[in-house]
Structure 1
Amino acid sequence: MCLSIPSKIKSINSEMNTCVVDTMGVERSASLDLIDQDVVVGDYVLIHIGFAMNKIDEEDAFESLKVYKEIIDKMDELDKQQAIVESENCPSR
């Protein structure tokens, strides 16, 4: 299962219509081709298969990130490793 975790826009490349986002400390590139809202550095977006799909309110992003952190804190090490393996197999690359 692939989850869309709130990601903060760190930079935007207008020429390529891409952005670099921070997802819980991991930076990655995402396309802005499918988002129908204007975004700026500092906005939170939901990424799916390498595309920013929605801009979300900062308060909602913080609440979601809080829940994700609570889930991660309750996982044992084996579950954490399995989640990483599964996330690497999401059809996004």
Structure 2
Amino acid sequence: MCLGIPGEIVAIVDDADDLASVEVSGVRRTISTRLLADEGVRVGDWVLVHVGFAMSKIDEREADLTLDQIRKLGRTYDEELEAFMETEIV
């Protein structure tokens, strides 16, 4: 199963190439924010991450609710977090 997982933008890595560092459950990865270039992202924003791309911006409340529901999926959450740890845009 492939899920989008909420992450918080913790740093802008490369503005010109639309790269940002996002943190998900204590794990940091560089992701592409190119799909949100028209909206723009900044440190502190929450985004829905899927296969190394920020798919949409969400608010912190939605991020918390989504993470809570994903955690309830048990192994599926663990698998998604493992996939996130293995995926990084460089």
TM bin (shorter chain):
0.7 to 0.9
* TM-score relative to the length of structure 1: 0.72
Alignment of 1:1-93 (within 5 A): 1-13=1-13, 14-35=15-36, 36-72=38-74, 75=75, 83=79, 87=83
Gap regions ≥5 residues in structure 1: none
Larger radius of gyration: 1
Deviations 1:19-52 (A, max 9, x none): 0001112111111111142211011101122111
CA RMSD of aligned residues (A): 2.9
Give the percent of matched residue pairs that are identical in Structure 1 and Structure 2.
Answer: 38
Helix, strand or coil for the counterpart of 1:71?
Answer: coil
* TM-score relative to the length of structure 2: 0.74
Letter in 2 for 1:87: A
Gap regions ≥5 residues in structure 2: none
Choose 15-24 or 63-72, whichever is displaced more: 63-72
Q: CA deviation at 1:69?
A: 2.7
Aligned length: 85
User: Deviation above 2 Å: which 4+ runs of structure 1?
Assistant: 68-72, 90-93
Q: CA deviation at 1:70?
A: 3.1
Change (3 A) 1:91 1:9: closer
